[in-house]
Structure formats: structure tokens, C-alpha cells
Structure 1
Amino acid sequence: MTVAIDQEMPRLDVVRTRQLKLPITLTAVVLLLGLLFLLSPVKGDSVFRIGDGTAVALDDIHVPSSATMWVTWVLLVLLAAWTWADAVLYRRTRMWLPIAYALLAIFAFLTWAAQGGGVIPVAGTLAGALSLSVPLVYGALAGVIGERGGVVNIAIEGQLLLGAFAAVLLSSITHSPFVGLVGAMIGGVLVAFVLAAFSIRYLVDQIIVGVVLNVLVSGLTGFLYGALLSPNEATLNSAATFSKWPIPLLADIPIIGPVLFNQTFIVYLMYVTVALVAWGLYRTRWGLRLRSVGEHPQAADTVGIKVNPTRFWNVLLAGAIAGVGGAYFTLVSVPQFTKDMTAGLGFIALAAVIFGGWDPIRATLAALLFGFATNLQNLLTVLKTPIPSEFMLMLPYLVTILAVAGFAGQIKAPAADGKPYIKA
């Protein structure tokens, strides 16, 4: 039998669209920086202190403020023009370009902020950024696991908050930070259990359940703080905290050594958790099943994967991870719990999930960026920049909005994200 092939069959044309969000955002940022540099000119040198107290002594780096700012600004203009060329030619902009743009923009802005001999402590700034990023990283990983499985985890804020509360309570009673850490994981799992039960078992809208849980946990921990912790500060609200454990040799590496390898147990656990989630999501049966129930639950069901139980247990796993992030507040940052001490970081972690394209590594990098923006607020206050204090309080949230709206590009959530599965 012969098969005739019609040579005249019309071809399907590929529809291409220009991606303008990134070039528009980069252009807006470079224009704002140029306006800032013009309206507030600088003189003298800016000083970047890279000495970090390690055995290797490093001298401060002095750069001419005005010249450095404008040279860097020209480079930013060229990178923005590159993205416009990519958009016109229907090319996809490489990942390195926005990363390089962000680093140059930060460098130019810090050079302006340190005008007139101001000192930027590089190692201290990075260490502070990492410290503020730890709860965000744990929250972002929890969001990635939940949404890869098809459940929108709006309740990250509640999981962080109840984790912080449970950690300080159990650590204060037992005088063991490890018991407090286990308690924080249990607290995160409890919030995740309610989210999973209502959204997966009873098919309640996941967004509504998450928002209600955040409000419920905020009110519950606030009540227990006033009724239980506040009157018994010495016995119930004075946690045994994790101390720093410097890793021999690695902690002595200039600049990055004290930042990355002179940390507490929870930070080292974060490194391991990020690596395990990133590896497991793409390299193991667990990750394949998780992604399948979040992308195409009907197809997963036909090959024998139990969709709703898979979603349920992974939401609980995400809650445990978020609980560890909550423990960082009371077992590392401060040894006491205060009302609403997470201050909305759960929502910024959710933004990191979106900015990172539901990928654990990219979501971690996004969380680090938001942590750096938060720490930058404190640095600018110390440097006494002419920026109004109200704007500096808004800075982390402005960076979050800018990143999600502009840098994230045309990203797509898992196909079944937020959609309950009803077996036919």
C-alpha cells in the first residue's frame, strides 16, 4: 500500500508576539535613575568596604561617585536597548541580561547613596540580606511545592506566623531550639491541613480558604500572645535560640565566607532544603507525580496516580517547610514572639514564587532579591540619603511589584493550579 503525500498542503503559520514588558520596565528604571542622578548630583568618592574580619585583610575600594554613576547608567541604557532589539526581532531575552541589569542598577544606586565618602559595608549588607531572606526562601519553597501540585498556598503567611508562635512556646518550655523547630513544623502543618482539607476534600475556593486562614491565625496568635505569652514572658516567651556555627575553612573565605558559612542551623538547613526540592522536583518519582497532578490531573489519574491524596500530602509537606521559615523569626532573629511579627512576608514569598516561574531555584533567587531590598531600606537610613523615610518603608514592596509586573515576563502557572479535581 502506498501513501500519497500532498505537496500542496498549506503550512500552519507560527504566530509570534512581541514581549514588551521587560524592555518597558528596564527603560522606566533607567529613566528614573537618570532623573535621580540629575536632580541630586554628587561629588567626591563612594567607599565600598569589602573587609569582613577574616584572616585575609582587604582594603576599601574608593570610586569617583559621579563618573561611576554615569558610566554605569550608560551600560544600563545599552542593556535596555538590547531588550528592545530582542522584542523587535521576536527573540527571547537571555536570563543573564536582567540579572546583569539588576546588579548594575543596584551598584549605581549604592554609589549614589554613598556619595561624599559614605561607606557601603559589602559583607555586612550581604549578610543582612541573607538573614532577611531566610523566611522568604522557606515560604517560597512551600509555595512552589503547593502550586506545582495544583493548590494555591495563600496561607503561607499563616504558616509562618503559627510556626513562629509554636517555636517560641516549645523552645521556652524545653529550653531546646530543636524542639522549638519541630513545633514550628507542626504549626505549619496544622495550617496546611486545614487548607488541604477544605480546598481538596470539600472543594472550597483555595484563595478564600487561604485568606481566611491568614486572618484566623493572626487573630489566634494575637489572642494567645496577650492571654498566655505576655503575662509569662520569662517562662513562655523567652526562647532558647540557635547560635552561629562557623564551618572551618569555608568561613574564612573573604567576603562570602562570613556571609554563607558562619550561620545558624536553620540557614544551613535552608541550603539543603533548596537543593533537595530542586533535585527532587525534576529528578525523582515524587517530583514527576507532583508536577503531573498540577499540570494534567486527568492524565495522572489514568496512569494510577491518586491525584487528591498526592496533593493533600504535598500541601502538608509545604506547610512543614513554611513552619521552619516561621521558626527563624523566634529562634534566630529575636527570642520573643510579638503580634503579627511576620509583617506580610508570606505574601512576598508568594510573589517570589510567581517571579521565579514556579521553579525552586529561581524562586529562591527572587526571595534573596526581596530580602536585599528590605535590607537596603536599613542601609539607606544609616547612610542618611535624601530619600524620604516613607519611601524607604515602601521599598521592599515596590521592588516586589516591579519584579512581578515587569521582570517576570510571560510566565504561566501550572495548568491545574487552583483547580479542584473531581474524579469522573
Structure 2
Amino acid sequence: MSTAPVVVADDSVVEKRLDDSRPAGWWHLPATTTVLGLIALVFFGPRGLPGAESVYALARETDLNPLGLVPERVTLPSQGGAIVLSVLALAASAGLWVLQARQARPSRGVRIALIAVFAVAWVLAFMTWVISQRSLDVTTLLQGTIVLAVPLAFGALSGVLSERAGVINIAIEGQSLFGAFGATLVGSLTGNVWLGLLAAPLVALIMGAAAGALRGRLPGPADHRRRRPERPRHRRDLVLLRHRDAGQPRAVQRAAARLPTLRVPVLADLPVIGRVLFEQNILVYLMWIIVAGLTVALFRTRWGLRVRAVGEHPKAADTVGIAVNLTRWKNVLLGAAVAGLGGATLTIGTGVAFGEEMSAGKGYIALAAMILGRYHPVGAPLAALTFAFADSLQRAWAPCPPPRAGSPSPATSCSCSRTWSRCSRSRAWWAGCGSPPRTGDPTSSSELPPPRRAAQRRRVPSSPGRGVPHRVPSPRGAAPHVALRPPGAARSSPPEPPQ
């Protein structure tokens, strides 16, 4: 009997057609960039200080800068520079209009290049307007961005691993908190920060498995559309219980351990990007390695193909023999371990002792970064860098009073920004910033509301023979108390407060 395949003569011919139709929302991106460019041109340019200068510090004397290719300082006129950069952003927006209008499917590289030009020009226009009469160390700003982005990037990568397998994991916050606790506890008990680094993903992985077991089971192929996200509340409660009962007596009393900084000898001396990329701890380098490895594994290996098949069409994957539940379990546990590394960044990565609220919602911000990055191992860290850059700007440039006569030199960086943010509603805030508040300033001490009383009068029901309750003034700084005086007794005069 012949085993040759049978060819049917009347097989239908498969035709491939290229869809050149323009998407319905092609104008959304150009319209958004145009509105943002007009906002920059209207607010950042004309509202700048005329005659003021904005200084960007780029390089240092010790940097590897042959022939001075990168200038140490770049000075721009605040008003004129903001206007020019805003016009450049509008020009990039016009290029997007032309590209989107002429071609139904524009080139991806040209589109990304125009978006990058617009973003850089808009951010520089904003920064030039903000740092009028001051200077900004660009390297310090970017270093702060990397430090703030590492826990967000690890959390976003954890979400990508779970989401690609078809599981919505909103427990990134709890997993990061467990990683931070495990790193601090093990590193403090053993005195070895490297053991704490190894313990962070292991503790988060164990707690991720426990949470999955408590939940019952991960969704199978039949209930893929009805899957429920994991609830992280019990994880946070458990880690706080362990922190109060087990870890706190010994871990908090010791000095917080910190991972050493690993410096690449030559590359770390490059201007601007040298200390940002090549003078960090091992967690920063590990983040770049995980981003590259996860991108290759998801889109260039058989494992990644199976994971994406389970996440996109679990019934079809189950039909061809792929273990859907097992694949999802593996990805959820792997994502928990990655989130634990992000938690380790909060403690041993920065040398800060463990605290109950130290994650401060970073797990949910990482979830938003994952969605903004379109569930991609490269897009999610880029979104995390965007959020971290905004946070770094907020930390570096708290509102600072305008310079006046007798105030610090305007050419220096805004060193009083943190003092202003701490004591702006205090009577002596001007002691750290250099000049007193003006009349009519909403932060002036004369216009501040009176402080609340530290303690309210305690009401004691009066009865015959028990006396009448009255309030006895206490010395300044002490809480008032209630005493009893006999009925009919004269009210004593309050004592003079101590000078």
C-alpha cells in the first residue's frame, strides 16, 4: 500500500493581500504632540525670566574627555532657549503629521525618530524654563533616575512574565516587599550582603507559591477569560507580622547593609553616561541582563513560543499537548523571583533599613509601566525609566523661592529646594533659603492657620461631692490635663509659662 500523500486537484488557492488602508485613529499621536508643543511654546517661553540663564553641567575635570569634546557647562538663555526648543518640538510634530497623512503604514524607524526628537525637545524646554538662574548637574539627575527605575523595572518585568502566560498578577507590591524583607533579614543575621541578595528572590518565590496555593489553582484553559487576579493583601499582612515579631529585634539594631558599587575602569570615566551606566551596584547590571535575556527568550526560543501560546490561546495550546497550568505556574513563580530582586533594591541596594511602607505603591506603578510598555520586555523598562525620570525631577526641583538681594548666588544649584519643601509652612523657613517671605505670600507665617491643640479638654461628668472639672494649664510643650476642684472653690489663676 502506497503511503504517498494524496493531492486533491480542486484545492482552494490561498491569496495574500496587503492592507494599505489608513487606521481610523492615525491622527491621535500627531494631535497629542501638537497640543503639548503649543503648551510648551505658550507657557515655557514667554513666561520665562528675561535675561536669565540656565546652566547644564555635563562633564567634570576628572572625566575622560579628550580635546574637550563634551563641554563642562552649557549655558542657555532661559526665555529664548525655551522658545527655540518648543519650536523644535512643534517641527517634529509637523513631521509626524506629514508622515502619517502621506503614508498609510509609515516607516517605523522614522516614526520613532520623530517621537524621540519631540520628547527630548519638549523635556529640555521644560527644564530650561525651570532652572532659570540656576544650574543642573545632568549626571546626578540621570543617576537618580536609574536608582529609582530599578525596582520599577524589576516589577514591570515580573508582570510581563505573568501576563505573557495569561495571568494578571497584581501582587507585585507584596512580592517586592517580601524580597526587601528577606534581603534585610538574611543579610543582617549572616552579616553577608550577598547572601541577602540570594535570599530576596527565594523568599519572594516561596511566598508567591504559597499565595498560589492559597488561591486554589491558577486558571486553566476553560476559564481563561474569567481569570481573577491575585490579591496581595494577605502577603503584606504576613510580611508586616514577620517584621514585627521576628526580624525587628535583631535586624533593626544593626547597621543597614549595602551592596558595593561596581565600577568599570575606563567606561565609568566617560562624561555624562559614565557614572550613570558603569558605576552602579550589581542589581543595575542584572536588570540589563534580564531585559536582554527575557527579550530573546520570549521571541526567539521554543519556550517563549509556548508561553505566548498559553497566554494568547490556551485552548489551542492545550490541544497540541502543552501543559497550560504548569506553564503558568512556572512563569508566575519566575515573576515572583524577579519582583523579589526589585524589593532587594529598596533595602540592600540603597543601604536603607526595612520599613513597613517602604515599597510605597511601587508595585502598582510597575503594573502601570508594564501596561504602558505594551507587555514587552523592552517597553516596560522604558516606561519605568519615564516614571523614574519624572520622580527624579520632582525630588531635585522642589519649589524654591526666587532669588533676591542677599540670597545665595543664582549660578549655584538649588540647594535650598529640600529646605523649602520641609519648612515652607514654618515661621523660620527663610533661615535655610536666604530671604524672608513676602507680604501676601500664601506661605507667610502671618497668614498660616493657627496650629491645632495637641490635646482636647477631657469631659468629666460632675456630680455632688466629686467636684467640678477644670482645665489646668501645663508648661509649654506638655499636654494639658484635667483636675478636680471642690464645689464653690475659687478658680486658681494659671501659672506663668516658663520663659
TM bracket, shorter-chain basis: 0.7 to 0.9
Quick one: which of 128, 132, 140 aligns to 2:156?
A: 140
Q: Once the 2 structures are TM-superposed, how far is the Cα of residue 220 of structure 1 from its aligned partner?
A: 2.8
* Matched ranges for 1:240-251 at <5 A: 240-251=257-268
Structure 2 CA distance for partners of 1:295 and 1:180, relative to 1, 3 Å: same
Quick one: which of 27, 34, 47 aligns to 2:55?
A: 47
Gapped runs of 5+ residues in structure 2?
1-7, 404-416, 422-499
Partner of 2:90: 77
| Aligned partners of 2:262 and 2:282 also within 8 Å | yes
State the one-letter code of the partner of 1:63. L
* Matched ranges for 1:382-401 at <5 A: none
Structure 2 CA distance for partners of 1:189 and 1:55, relative to 1, 3 Å: same
Structure 2 CA distance for partners of 1:382 and 1:174, relative to 1, 3 Å: farther
| Aligned partners of 1:46 and 1:62 also within 8 Å | yes
Partner of 1:401: none
Quick one: which of 22, 33, 41 aligns to 2:29?
A: 22
| Aligned partners of 1:48 and 1:60 also within 8 Å | yes
CA distance in 2, matches of 1:14, 1:46: 47
State the one-letter code of the partner of 1:135. P
Secondary structure of 1:200's match?
A: coil
Deviations for 1:66-111, whole angstroms, at most 9, x for unmatched residues?
Answer: 1111111112122223334455554457222222221111111111
Q: Once the 2 structures are TM-superposed, how far is the Cα of residue 385 of structure 1 from its aligned partner?
A: 7.9
State the one-letter code of the partner of 2:86. W
| Aligned partners of 1:151 and 1:206 also within 8 Å | no
Quick one: which of 204, 210, 220 aligns to 2:238?
A: 220
| Aligned partners of 1:157 and 1:342 also within 8 Å | yes
Structure 2 CA distance for partners of 1:5 and 1:173, relative to 1, 3 Å: closer
Partner of 2:4: none
Q: Once the 2 structures are TM-superposed, how far is the Cα of residue 13 of structure 1 from its aligned partner?
A: 9.9
Quick one: which of 294, 299, 311 aligns to 2:316?
A: 299
Secondary structure of 2:396's match?
A: helix
CA distance in 2, matches of 1:168, 1:42: 48
Work out whether 1:252 is the aligned partner of 2:252. no
Q: Once the 2 structures are TM-superposed, how far is the Cα of residue 148 of structure 1 from its aligned partner?
A: 0.8
Structure 2 CA distance for partners of 1:380 and 1:369, relative to 1, 3 Å: same
Partner of 1:175: 191
TM-score between both structures, scaled by the size of structure 1 = 0.81
Work out whether 1:318 is the aligned partner of 2:341. no
Structure 2 CA distance for partners of 1:206 and 1:179, relative to 1, 3 Å: farther
- Identity across the alignment (%): 37
Q: Once the 2 structures are TM-superposed, how far is the Cα of residue 45 of structure 1 from its aligned partner?
A: 1.4
Partner of 1:188: 204
Secondary structure of 2:55's match?
A: strand
Deviations for 1:311-334, whole angstroms, at most 9, x for unmatched residues?
Answer: 111110111011001100000223
| Aligned partners of 1:289 and 1:300 also within 8 Å | yes
State the one-letter code of the partner of 1:45. E
Structure 2 CA distance for partners of 1:224 and 1:238, relative to 1, 3 Å: farther
| Aligned partners of 1:149 and 1:311 also within 8 Å | yes
Deviations for 1:367-391, whole angstroms, at most 9, x for unmatched residues?
Answer: 11111111010121276689x99xx
* Matched ranges for 1:6-405 at <5 A: 16-37=23-44, 40-43=47-50, 44-52=52-60, 53-56=62-65, 58-89=71-102, 90-92=104-106, 94-116=111-133, 118-197=134-213, 198=215, 200=218, 209-210=229-230, 212-213=231-232, 215-235=233-253, 238-381=255-398
| Aligned partners of 1:18 and 1:87 also within 8 Å | no
CA distance in 1, matches of 2:198, 2:157: 18
Q: Once the 2 structures are TM-superposed, how far is the Cα of residue 186 of structure 1 from its aligned partner?
A: 1.8
Q: Once the 2 structures are TM-superposed, how far is the Cα of residue 178 of structure 1 from its aligned partner?
A: 1.7
Secondary structure of 2:56's match?
A: strand
Q: Once the 2 structures are TM-superposed, how far is the Cα of residue 28 of structure 1 from its aligned partner?
A: 3.3
| Aligned partners of 1:113 and 1:385 also within 8 Å | no
Deviations for 1:139-186, whole angstroms, at most 9, x for unmatched residues?
Answer: 111111111111112111111111111111111101112211122102
| Aligned partners of 2:167 and 2:328 also within 8 Å | yes
Q: Once the 2 structures are TM-superposed, how far is the Cα of residue 49 of structure 1 from its aligned partner?
A: 0.1
- Higher relative contact order by CA 8 Å / sep ≥ 6: 1 or 2? 1
CA distance in 2, matches of 1:325, 1:180: 13
Q: Once the 2 structures are TM-superposed, how far is the Cα of residue 194 of structure 1 from its aligned partner?
A: 4.2
| Aligned partners of 1:51 and 1:60 also within 8 Å | yes
Partner of 2:460: none
Q: Once the 2 structures are TM-superposed, how far is the Cα of residue 4 of structure 1 from its aligned partner?
A: 12
Partner of 1:412: none
CA distance in 1, matches of 2:150, 2:402: 27
Q: Which has the higher helix share?
A: 1
Deviations for 1:247-289, whole angstroms, at most 9, x for unmatched residues?
Answer: 1212122221111111111111112111111111111122111
Structure 2 CA distance for partners of 1:27 and 1:227, relative to 1, 3 Å: farther
Deviations for 1:318-358, whole angstroms, at most 9, x for unmatched residues?
Answer: 11011001100000223301112111111111111111111
| Aligned partners of 2:59 and 2:272 also within 8 Å | yes
Partner of 1:395: none
Secondary structure of 2:117's match?
A: helix
CA distance in 1, matches of 2:117, 2:291: 23
State the one-letter code of the partner of 1:48. Y
Gapped runs of 5+ residues in structure 1?
393-424
| Aligned partners of 1:27 and 1:77 also within 8 Å | yes
Structure 2 CA distance for partners of 1:142 and 1:384, relative to 1, 3 Å: farther
RMSD of aligned alpha carbons: 3.2
Q: Once the 2 structures are TM-superposed, how far is the Cα of residue 205 of structure 1 from its aligned partner?
A: 9.3
| Aligned partners of 1:155 and 1:195 also within 8 Å | no
Q: Once the 2 structures are TM-superposed, how far is the Cα of residue 127 of structure 1 from its aligned partner?
A: 0.8
Q: Once the 2 structures are TM-superposed, how far is the Cα of residue 124 of structure 1 from its aligned partner?
A: 0.8
State the one-letter code of the partner of 2:49. V
